[in-house]
Chain A
Amino acid sequence: QSVLTQPPSASGTPGQTVTISCSGSSSSVGSNYVYWYQHLPGMAPKLLIYRNNQRPSGVPDRFSGSKSGTSASLAISGLRSEDEADYYCAAWDDSLTIYVFGGGTKVTVL
């Protein structure tokens, strides 16, 4: 069981907006930045969002992140077929003193 809680799946049609939640605790999400990763089969995970809402260069602005209290969200707007992947949130946990991940959300483009 993962320390951060994500819904196992989410879906949308092309062009729609899909939002994925990530729930943690006061010692993880509540105290530290949240990071989001995209994982495509056979590839290494790719950093999508850092420090809650910052995008590395090369990541489309269709991907956006936010955080409030002990929860964070990743929004994918203008959904495209190539966005079909698994998405993970991550944070440092001050109490456990480890890096923690969510269980992952599989996004399906209908």
Chain B
Amino acid sequence: QVQLQQGGAGLLKPSETLSLTCTVYGESLEGYYWSWIRLSPGKGLEWIGEINHLGTTSYTPSLKSRVTMSMDTSKNQFSMDLRSVTAADTAVYYCARHMWRTPYFQYWGQGTLVAVSS
């Protein structure tokens, strides 16, 4: 049974850095792509970026200047940092597994509610 367990803080002030982790149980990181996706109030789902087991990353253009994804294969875990957050980054953040260029997001993390407020 593949499970994705998310970790990280959910309450931030403007200009701080959002840091989230996603630990994968029941499967190796190899052979798949691992994405971060967020669900914003009134805006729907938005793909943030992806990483594979080699550390190759790809980010959505609107967030590319502020986001960094990394992987720790020893912990079977991948992470995301989003810098200089604003209220517009308030959302539920999910990690998910898929294949390259295929939005077949079969397994998801439980979601992390992130609120940005002064």
Contacts and interface: CB of A to CB of B under 8 A. Distances in A.
The answer to whether A and B assemble together is yes
Interface of A: 2, 32-33, 35, 37, 39, 43-45, 47, 50, 56, 88, 90-92, 96-104
A5 to B, nearest CB: 11
Contacts of A92: 101-103
Given A35-B103, A35-B104, A50-B104, A101 B44 contact: yes
Interface string B87-116: 000000010100001111110111100000
Contact of B45 (A43, A47, A50, A101): A101
B15 interface: no
A99 B94 CA distance: 15
6 contacts: A2-B44, A45-B39, A45-B105, A88-B45, A98-B61, A104-B45
Nearest to B45: A101
A104 B40 CA distance: 11
Interface of B: 35, 39, 43-47, 58, 60-61, 94, 96, 101-106, 108-111
Contacts of A39: 39, 45
B103 A99 contact: yes
Contact of A103 (B43, B101, B108, B111): B43
A67 B47 CA distance: 22
Given A2-B44, A99-B47, A47 B101 contact: no
A2 B43 CA distance: 8
A44 B44 contact: no
Contact of B104 (A2, A45, A47): A47
A44 B111 contact: yes
Q: Which of B101, B103, B108 has the most A CB atoms < 10 Å from its CB?
A: B103
A90 B103 contact: yes
Given A35-B103, A91-B103, A99-B47, 10 more contacts: A2-B43, A44-B108, A45-B39, A45-B108, A88-B45, A92-B103, A98-B58, A98-B61, A103-B43, A104-B45
A104 B45 CA distance: 8
